[in-house]
A and B are shown apart, each in its own frame.
Chain A
Amino acid sequence: MKKSIVVAGVGGQGVITAANILARAALRDGYNVVMSELHGMAQRGGNVECSVRIGDVYSPIVGNETANAIISFEPLEALRNLQKVRKDGLVLTDVNPIIPPLVSLGIGKYPAVEEIFDKISKHCRLIKINADEIARKAGSILTKNVVMLGAATALNILPVSEESLIETIKGTVPPKYIEINMKAFEMGKEEMRK
């Protein structure tokens, strides 16, 4: 068995934490797991991408068209990583653009969101979610990464058990935030069932 999930977004959105939760949940289920992350300069509002690979794997990064799914916290970042996902795979992305500051200076262009979704749909299956809104409803924008994990669970794209995910989330977030994170997880799941 070999499963690869790419988690992508912008520095500060909790991308690495989400990938980490996924990796530790996989170990809890008894799988081998490797993942990659980048630190340093990239954290200052730059794009962030983590690959989580589970099963008979060695490489911490994915090859083109090998990932089973992309979980993206931002539309443009879904597009940036699109070539990594298999054509029979799936992209789950949040719908709220974060415009790179350089675009405001007239350097580069942020494409129309519909154009982004069009391109993704031509490559593979696309599922959209307004995770920002759900996270706020759950109690804090900081739970966005857990909303995304909840949605991914409902879509059945994560090769780990829901129980392990929930236990790992509980073991990761500060105790006083467990409740709103559990709420965020359930609301993410619920949104996908609609």
Chain B
Amino acid sequence: MELLGEGKKVLLGNEAIARGALEADVDVATTYPGTPSSEIADSLSMVARYLKNSGKEVPFYFQYSVNEKVALEFAAAASHAGLRALTCMKHVGLNVASDALMTYAYVGCKGGHVIVTADDPSCHSSQNEQDNRCYAKFAALPMLEPSSPQEAKDMTVEAFALSEKLSLPVILRTTTRVSHARGVVELAPLNMTFKKGKFEKGGLTVTVPAVARKLHPVLLEKMERAKEISNKSPFNFVEDFGGEYGIITSGAAYNYVREAVDDLNLKCKILKIGMSNPLPDKKIAEFLRECKKVIVVEELEPYIEEQVKIIARDEGIGVDIYGKGYGKLKRYYEYDMDIVYSTLAKFFGAEWEEKEEGEKITDRPPVLCPGCPHRATYYAVKQVAKPDTIYPTDIGCYTLGLLPPYKTADFLLCMGSSIGTGCGFSKATEQPVISFIGDSTFYHAGLPALVNAIHHNHNFVVVILDNSTTAMTGHQPHPGNDIDGMGNKAISMDMEKVVRGLGVKHVEVVDPRNLNEAKEAVRRALEYDGLSVIISKAPCILLERKYKKERKLYQINQEKCRKCKICITKFACPAFYFDGDDIKINAALCTGCGVCPQVCPFDAIEEVAE
């Protein structure tokens, strides 16, 4: 197993973080999966199952928690029992955990606790591109920000020590281009031991107002000490290439800056910020004094830039400081080499030829897989629902229902919002409302919204797309599964019992691959006066293909086919293609789900022997 190896390895940034946690002898790790953070926890899950299968003791406890808030609370408790804890999530996951986070900063921690937030500039796989460095400042927590897989590992190890030194949880903030970059990582020895902690009573750990008032100044005092550490931290370092212009940079942007300095032969000094909260005020002031002008190159918010400008003013340093708005430096989207090279060439007066933009090529957006049961659900719903039906949707593969021909996604904010906004649309309009939510997302944030819908007797339909996994992020288990992230037996929730138990009167469970049954269920749900829930249950096709050996195959009988094209224009399975005027099925893509024969009005789609 690569992650337990030694020497030098090519590791994904996220794998390097997992390795760092193992080198730091982490005791407890929790997560809710989300791109670009998922492989941190998935790596630990793999290590746990690998050790278990080899008959060895697993030296840590790992769990895919129901959501990020619970993941953070779980790990905070472990830390207060004296254990080392790791919690990983994507940037928007920290919004879910933020209620716990803000007060956890007051309470502080005991065992080292590292909270990883993986941000996603350019929204490669996210609903926004918020800059979570602002959370470190907002909550007053130390933060480390790696640029490469090697730094990601080194900083993870250091973050545990820093956390224990300050009794504060430490935020490790990555971005997609760090988490999903691969690079050479020099590994240190593993030192893994299993421990149980002990909770010592009597600390200031119950945040009633009187206690919270005591804790806030304590937190600020800890952060003053953190600033001294930041001023001495080797993660905040200067590289001197001669000259009098300065560049301050951090994270992924550092990589582009560093190469530009080589390629454009720039005479400059670089201040590379690795500990970005609190910023090293003395080191920055010293750097500013040595420079004739300075440019801050950082992705997203002018987080460093604004604080550098405050430091310059407080210290009476008159140097010109450039940043957002200069050259191609914007406050949105990730940076790349062309943005940074072009901007620095302007700043230094270096030679640089702007490259042509490539031509616009036909998009190849991700689509629902051939055989995906969500396609069948959407097809059935569209057959029955009126055109003005509102479809609030949620976070998962099924958000792809946005695309034609289904167009079964009208509104999306965040995890669980399909049901909350469904409540609102059902009261605010007279249009029918059908909310779509996946099983993992339902457990994550759909439950409280469903309680709200039941209690207020809202009249709309919730379709829970139950494919028995957290598909989009890589098939992590969730509370509906009977095996947990360590490969241990777990108690699986019975979705129907959960929904009925909460008090929904009209509940139906259907297999959407039987289209008529699904259509009838949707019809009955729409007719029902009150809240109705349809559990549309069929396994994710990618998992089913893995475990199911036999599959049926379908082909189109060209003599029967009347070229009505419904299979392409309405059902739109990627296995169908035009061969001249004929419609055919790509046998390599067909999964044999058996739904398309029900779609064809001329019975032209026939099962064939493989």
Contact = CB atoms under 8 A, between A and B. Distances in A.
Interface of A: 10-11, 20, 23-24, 27, 32-47, 56-66, 76-77, 79-84, 99-105, 107-111, 119, 141
B365 A46 contact: yes
A34 B180 contact: no
B473 interface: yes
Contacts of B148: 34, 58
A32 B341 CA distance: 22
B363 A44 contact: no
Given A58-B147, A59-B259, A59-B337, 4 more contacts: A33-B10, A33-B182, A39-B125, A61-B336
Contacts, number: 160
Nearest to A107: B404
Contacts of A57: 259
Contacts of B36: 39-40
B182 A101 contact: no
A58 B258 contact: yes
Nearest to A10: B364
Nearest to A32: B184
A27 B8 contact: yes
B355 A83 contact: yes
A58 B259 contact: yes
A41 to B, nearest CB: 5
Contact of B357 (A36, A79, A83): A83
Contacts of A108: 362-363
Contacts of B568: 104-105
A40 B473 contact: yes
Contact of B362 (A45, A60, A61, A109): A109
Contacts of A99: 577
B355 A64 contact: yes
B342 to A, nearest CB: 10
B367 A45 contact: yes
B180 A37 contact: yes
B10 A59 contact: no
Contacts of B349: none
A36 B125 contact: no
B125 A42 contact: yes
A23 B363 contact: no
B177 A104 contact: no
A36 B13 CA distance: 10
Contacts of B367: 44-46, 101-102
Contacts of B400: 41, 44
Contacts of B358: 64, 80-84
Interface in B546-599: 568-569, 572, 574, 576-578, 588
Contacts of A20: 10, 182
B39 interface: yes
23 contacts: A11-B366, A27-B9, A33-B10, A35-B182, A35-B183, A36-B182, A39-B39, A41-B124, A41-B125, A44-B400, A45-B367, A46-B364, A57-B259, A58-B256, A61-B177, A63-B337, A64-B356, A82-B358, A100-B364, A102-B404, A104-B577, A108-B363, A110-B362
Pick the most buried of A43, A44, A64: most chain B CB atoms within 10 A of its CB.
A44
Q: Top 3 nearest A-B pairs by Cβ distance?
A: A40-B35, A63-B337, A83-B358
Given A34-B148, A105-B404, A40 B125 contact: yes
B391 interface: no
Contacts of B405: 105
B10 A38 contact: no
B338 interface: yes
A101 B355 contact: no
B124 A60 contact: no
Interface string B8-38: 1110100000000000000000000001101
Contact of A59 (B125, B256, B572): B256
Given A20-B182, A63-B337, A105-B572, A100 B356 contact: no
B483 interface: no
B184 A104 contact: no
A100 B404 CA distance: 13
Contacts of B8: 27
Contacts of B9: 27
B262 A56 contact: yes
A34 B362 contact: no
A76 B274 CA distance: 40
Nearest to A62: B337
A92 B577 CA distance: 26
A101 B574 contact: yes
B573 to A, nearest CB: 8
A58 B254 contact: yes
Contacts of B366: 11, 41-46
A101 B403 CA distance: 11
Contacts of A77: 364
A38 B10 CA distance: 16
B51 interface: no
Contacts of B361: 76, 79-80
B130 interface: no
Interface in B352-387: 355-359, 361-369
A84 B39 CA distance: 28
